[in-house]
Structures are given as structure tokens and as C-alpha cells.
Chains A and B, each alone.
Chain A
């Protein structure tokens, strides 16, 4: 037990310092505080909206005797999110964190290391819960005028909730790692694992969309809701049956049923933990053996191969290719910065595919596209989607952070900071355009837009991608997160990416809303976007050339 506490403390300290960055000095400290504060403030409206939504729908569900459904669906959504992110967190924290190699030789039981790492992972998940589950709990509490017991149960449940989804994620990982590490090619395994996990997420998304799609059919909904007495809670529990206990406990907080259920819920979660640790005793270390090995061919190059590999290129081209190679070959970077460009279109078009047989169908939207009356709006929406996609891939907004401890290399090589920044921006533009093209290809197949519209989208898209790339690099130059011990932390647990997503979302909204309200003509939209964003890009480039370069120069290795 004392080993567990000591190890957890060390791991927490480590991850906290890497989360807040490593820069010294007063102004950097202020910078380090500003960013999280902005982020929290900007997420407050979302949390507020969730809470307000719960308060608004509560009377309706209460009237039907199905108020438990509010919880059940909230718990389901949060559990799914935790499972999805948990697969990546556990993979990184349990298997690919740099501390693993120093922990292995220590006289620690596998379950001790696992328990400590599990604790750290759970703490991360509380952040996810705070954003979504906390507002639901508070909203429900206010609407139902709940008492102290309700909040007490809620806190217990809140703290327990991540356990079961994370145990699932942990077991999936342990089994995968135990039986695939024979391949000795960890990078490829991680990339394939990441792709599989993404597809699982897409699958879950489609399934839940069609479930809620089913709810939009009034007769079906009527039939499901009529029995009352919270019968629907069970349906929403899915692969997390224990969630039902938590929901029942909250709904019945006034009587003994509540107490029994919350205790049962905590007990089952502890049982899951025990099962996980027991399994880990025999599986964890076996999956770790050989984790740091990499496949090598040890084959001499033939003269032709050699001549083909050794070719002169310009500095910026060579640097850009290097950046792209690292993005494609590092699993965390590949999943977060590259793969996402192909997946966003899938996520964006799922609603159409899921709703194909009810409500707003593909053919209806196709009609809007082909009618020619809405081209201005379509162009603005496409532009907004491209801005969002290239702001979300984090290629430039994590490009300095990704250098990590090796940032010193940028300082001694004979490449100007301007050129290094430009190469990083170039990489962002290339991948942003990949996202644009993949969205366009999906749109061409599903919505059959006219050719001139495709061309206009490409032109404005390029201007938008340059804009987000400039913004991204400026954020990362200001707040580089260089102190990390696994690559995931450079891209996923990096606030710069959040800020980039936030800015691109806000700008997207600012573009789309007036175009819809005033129903602007397509050529006006085109001229407006190219002029405004072209001008913004010129200003941002000037800023990068002066302030950006001097910021890069000041980054201490």
C-alpha cells in the first residue's frame, strides 16, 4: 500500500508539471495561468447550456415518469467518452510512457504499478466528467429541488463513474498488448490500434445517432415512454449496466433504495478494479516486454536505392518532409494530427447517413445544394467546416511543443527561425488541405455539388487553412509545451490545441451566422472571405515574421 501511495504521488507530480509547462520567469508563469483560465471560461457556456437544458426538460420527463432517463443518457454519454479516450490514455500511460522502463527493474508488483497509473488516469477523466456530468447533476438537483443526500450520492457516483469504462479500456489494452507485441513493431501496432479505436468510436457514434434518431419518431417514442416508472433507464445503460444503479440511486435518493443502489454501485466498481488488477498480475508485464524494441531490417542499400534516397532539396522542402515523416510515423501524432483529417468528414456526414430513412435525408439536402439558391450559405458552411477541421488537427498549434526536449536542435542547426516556422506552417497547410479534400470527396459522393462550387470551396479553403495554420503556430510559439514524457502529452494533453479549436470554432460561427441571416449571394461570400481572410493572413504573416521569430529565439532549450 505504501508503495502504491508513493508511486502515485510521483506519477501525479510528474504529470502535473508537464501539464502546466516548464518555463521559468514571472511573465511565463502569468502566461501559464492565463491559458487555463481562458479555457475554463470558454467551456463554462457549454457546461451552463447542458445544466440549463436539463432544468428545461426535467418537467417533461418527470411528467412521463421517465426523469431517470436524463441521468441514464448522461451517464451513457460520459461512460462512452471515458471508454473512448481511456483506450488511448491507458495505452500511453500504461505501456508507452517513458517511465515504464525505469519502473520495470524496481521491486514493485505489477498490480502496484497498475493501481498507481490507474489512479492518475482516473484523475484525468474527472476533468471530462466535470464538463458534462457535473452540469447534469447540478441541473437535475436544482430542477428536482434535491436535498443533501442527493448531492452526497452524486459525489460518490461521480468519483466512481470512470472506474468501469477505464477497466474495459484497460482490459482491451492488456489483451491487445499481450498478444500483439510479438510483432516487435510497436509503432505500427499503435497506429493500427488507434485506427481500430477510432472506428469503434465512429461505430458507437452511428449507433447512438440512430438510437436517438429512433426517438425522433413520435409513435415509437410514445410507445417507449408510456410505461413510466423510469423503465427507459435500463435501455440506456448498454454495456455499462452498473450505471443503472447510479441513476436509480439518484432518482430514489429520498428512500433506502437509493442508499442500497449507490453502495452496490461503488461495490461493483471496486470489484471491477480488483478483477483488473488480478488480471494485470499475469498480463501486464508480459505485454510490456519488448515494448521499446523496434523492427529493423539490417539490409544494405543497393546503388540505385542509395541514389534515389540521397537527393538534394531546398531547406524548407526538406524540413517540411521531415515534419510530415515524423507526423506519419509517431503513432500519437498520426492519430491526433493526421488521421483526424480523414475522420472529421465521416463524423460530419454521419448525421446524414444515420438519418437517411427519417427526417432530413440526403436527397433533400442534395436538392438544396443543386437548387443554386443556397450556394452562398453552402460556401460559408464549407469554409467554416474547413476552418474547424484544420484548427482541430493541431498540426501547427502543437508543432513547437512536439519538439519537446529536442527543441535545442532547432537552436543550433543552421536554419533560420523564420524558415523553420515556415516549414511547420507548410506542414499544417498540407494536412489542412488533405482535410479539405477528404471532406470535398465525401461531399461529392453524397451531395453531388456543382463543379464551380467545388472550385470556390477549394479557393476559400486554402485561405482558411493558411489562417488557422498561422493562428496555430502563434499560439504554440507563445506557450510551447516542451516538458513531456510521452508524445501523447504533446498533442492531446496540450492546451494550445484546445485554444486553436476554440478560436477556429468561434471564427467559423462568426462567418456562418451573418451569411445565413442575410442570405448572402455566393460571389459576395467568396469576395468577402478571400478579402477578409487574405488581409488577416497578411497581418498574421507580418506578426510571425517579427514577433513569431523573436518568440522562437527566446524559447530556452
Chain B
């Protein structure tokens, strides 16, 4: 579970990227985080992951306040950033082993997980190649595998579908569903509204750093008294802001 309470963040003291945001991401659900470019999605995600510090407010992950016990909180989640261009000169297998080391995954468990993940994501034949030789989608898969290798209870993913081929995208969605159904947390940002509509239990829509709406798809339709697609509702909501 992620709890965000009254979090604000401004850059250069003037532009408010996130403005008094409060939201609870419960266990057992997939929450989609939507908003136009520059709405504050990535800033929010970065604050949850401990990359940037909020100016005010608090963030707890599974009850651990990231400002007070950063390491404890970081052990709770796996984070997939928006760009998979990292550790490019490590081989795939070295990267996965490194991630398993820093999250203290024991030898047998990591072997089993790496094998499973490589097979499911169809990456078995590239594990010995340097990540820089991978395509964008393959890099994305590798980062996702690196997160799953330590089996975190909270998943935080920034635009995870970008660059994935249909099969991998389907697989990731399936895994997100399984993870949520097993009582754990999935929080991800996306611009693909169809994905959000079909996959998420709830959506949170932000614009200009403020939370505009948070609820299930049914609540969205009820709230706006329409049967329109999420895309239409989203466009209207963010344009009228």
C-alpha cells in the first residue's frame, strides 16, 4: 500500500509540479495514473521512489515512511523508470544478478526466477549480450525483469508499455493482474487510455499537479454522467482545467 499525504513539489521555487496531492493506493488493486504531459505524474512517481524529495507532505510504502526509513521503504517496491537506458554495458545476466544481489535474493530463488522471467519474456538468447545491443523494447523487458527478480510487493511503473511488443505488453498486463490479485500493489502511469480502461481497478487523473479524479471506471462514468470512453472523458476533463 502506498499512502501519499498532502505532498507538494515545486521546481525553482515557482512552478508547482505537484500541488497538495493526497491519495491512497491500496493493496490488491491496479491503479492507473493518468494525466497530460507535464501534469506531474513522473514527479509524483519519483517522489514515491525516493528519487526526489517532496517539499511538504509524507509518503509511506507498506506503512514505512520513506523520509524516515528510506532503505526500509525502498526494499518494499520495485521501480520501472520511464527510460530503460541503464547499465547499458552490463550483460543482461549480469544486470539481473546485480539486482538480485542488492535486494539480497538467495542463490536458488534467483536462478529459478531469472529462468522463468527469461522464458516468459523471450529473452533467453540475449542474456549474455550487453544491454546496449538490445532494442528499446528488449531493454524495457530487461528493466522489468530486474524489478521482478526480487519479487517486491509494491510495483511502481512509469509508462511500462512503451516500446513493448504486443506479446510482452500482454504478458506484463497479465502479470500485473496476477500481482494485484495476490493482494499486492500495482501503481503505473500511462498515456494509453484503453489500457487503463481495461486493466485498472481505479484511475487517478492529475493535471497541473492537482488530483482531478480518483475512482473506479464506473465511478468515472457516474460522476460525469456519460457512457463515453475514458479517452473522451479524459480529454474533456483536462481541457476544461
Across the interface, B90 reaches (CB within 8 A) one of A298, A300, A322, A408, namely A322
Complex interface residues of chain B between 100 and 125 (CB less than 8 A to chain A): 100-107, 110-111, 114-115, 124-125
Specify the chain A residue showing the minimal Cβ separation from B132: A294
In the bound complex, CA of A24 to CA of B127 (Å): 40
Q: Are B107 and A311 closer than 8 Å at their CB atoms?
A: yes
Evaluate whether A412 and B90 lie within 8 angstroms (CB atoms) in the complex, with A314-B101, A318-B101 already known.
no
Q: Are B102 and A315 closer than 8 Å at their CB atoms?
A: yes
Q: Are A325 and B94 closer than 8 Å at their CB atoms?
A: yes
Find chain A residues with CB under 8 A from B130 CB: 294, 296, 329
Q: How far is the CB of A35 from chain B (nearest CB, A)?
A: 23
Complex interface residues of chain B between 126 and 160 (CB less than 8 A to chain A): 126-130, 132-133
Specify the chain A residue showing the minimal Cβ separation from B89: A329
Find chain A residues with CB under 8 A from B96 CB: 310
Q: Are A319 and B102 closer than 8 Å at their CB atoms?
A: yes
Find chain B residues with CB under 8 A from A267 CB: none
Evaluate whether A408 and B81 lie within 8 angstroms (CB atoms) in the complex, with A301-B128, A310-B93, A318-B98 already known.
yes
In the bound complex, CA of A311 to CA of B97 (Å): 7
Q: Are A310 and B107 closer than 8 Å at their CB atoms?
A: yes
Across the interface, B103 reaches (CB within 8 A) one of A24, A299, A411, A414, namely A414
Q: Are B111 and A307 closer than 8 Å at their CB atoms?
A: yes
Q: Are B52 and A313 closer than 8 Å at their CB atoms?
A: no
Q: Are A296 and B126 closer than 8 Å at their CB atoms?
A: yes
Instruction: Give a binary string over B78-101; 1 marks a CB under 8 Å from any A CB, 0 the rest.
Output: 010100011101100110111011
Across the interface, A312 reaches (CB within 8 A) one of B86, B90, B106, namely B106
Find chain A residues with CB under 8 A from B87 CB: 322, 326, 409
Q: How far is the CB of A200 from chain B (nearest CB, A)?
A: 26
Q: How large is the interface on B (under 10, 10 to 19, 20 to 34, 35 or more residues)?
A: 35 or more
In the bound complex, CA of A147 to CA of B106 (Å): 78
Find chain B residues with CB under 8 A from A415 CB: 71, 102
Complex interface residues of chain A between 305 and 349 (CB less than 8 A to chain B): 305-307, 309-315, 317-319, 322, 325-326, 329-330
Is A406's beta carbon under 8 Å from chain B? yes
Q: Are A411 and B50 closer than 8 Å at their CB atoms?
A: yes
Across the interface, A299 reaches (CB within 8 A) one of B50, B89, B125, namely B125
Q: Are B128 and A414 closer than 8 Å at their CB atoms?
A: no
Instruction: Give a binary string over B57-92; 1 marks a CB under 8 Å from any A CB, 0 the rest.
Output: 000000000000001001100010100011101100
Q: How far is the CB of A290 from chain B (nearest CB, A)?
A: 13
Evaluate whether A301 and B127 lie within 8 angstroms (CB atoms) in the complex, with A312-B110, A315-B102, A325-B94 already known.
yes
In the bound complex, CA of A412 to CA of B51 (Å): 6
Is B49's beta carbon under 8 Å from chain A? yes
Is B12's beta carbon under 8 Å from chain A? yes
Is B16's beta carbon under 8 Å from chain A? no
In the bound complex, CA of A557 to CA of B90 (Å): 22
Instruction: With a 10 A CB-CB cut-off, give which of A313, A414, A415, A557 has the most chain B CB atoms.
Output: A414
Is A145's beta carbon under 8 Å from chain B? no
Find chain A residues with CB under 8 A from B173 CB: none
Is B191's beta carbon under 8 Å from chain A? no
Is A452's beta carbon under 8 Å from chain B? no
Is B5's beta carbon under 8 Å from chain A? no
Q: Are B50 and A298 closer than 8 Å at their CB atoms?
A: no
Instruction: With a 10 A CB-CB cut-off, give which of B51, B75, B107 has the most chain A CB atoms.
Output: B51
Q: Are A315 and B90 closer than 8 Å at their CB atoms?
A: no
Q: Are A301 and B93 closer than 8 Å at their CB atoms?
A: yes
Q: How far is the CB of B72 from chain A (nearest CB, A)?
A: 9
Find chain B residues with CB under 8 A from A305 CB: 128
Complex interface residues of chain B between 11 and 52 (CB less than 8 A to chain A): 12, 46, 49-52
Q: How far is the CB of B100 from chain A (nearest CB, A)?
A: 7
Specify the chain A residue showing the minimal Cβ separation from B130: A294
Q: Are B89 and A414 closer than 8 Å at their CB atoms?
A: no
User: A312-B110, A412-B74 are known contacts; what are 6 more A-B pairs with Cβ within 8 Å?
Assistant: A295-B133, A301-B128, A310-B100, A406-B85, A408-B46, A412-B51
Can you sample 7 A-B contacts with CB below 8 Å?
A313-B101, A318-B101, A319-B98, A406-B85, A411-B49, A411-B52, A412-B79
A residues at B contact (CB < 8 Å): 24, 187, 293-301, 305-307, 309-315, 317-319, 322, 325-326, 329-330, 406, 408-409, 411-416, 556-557
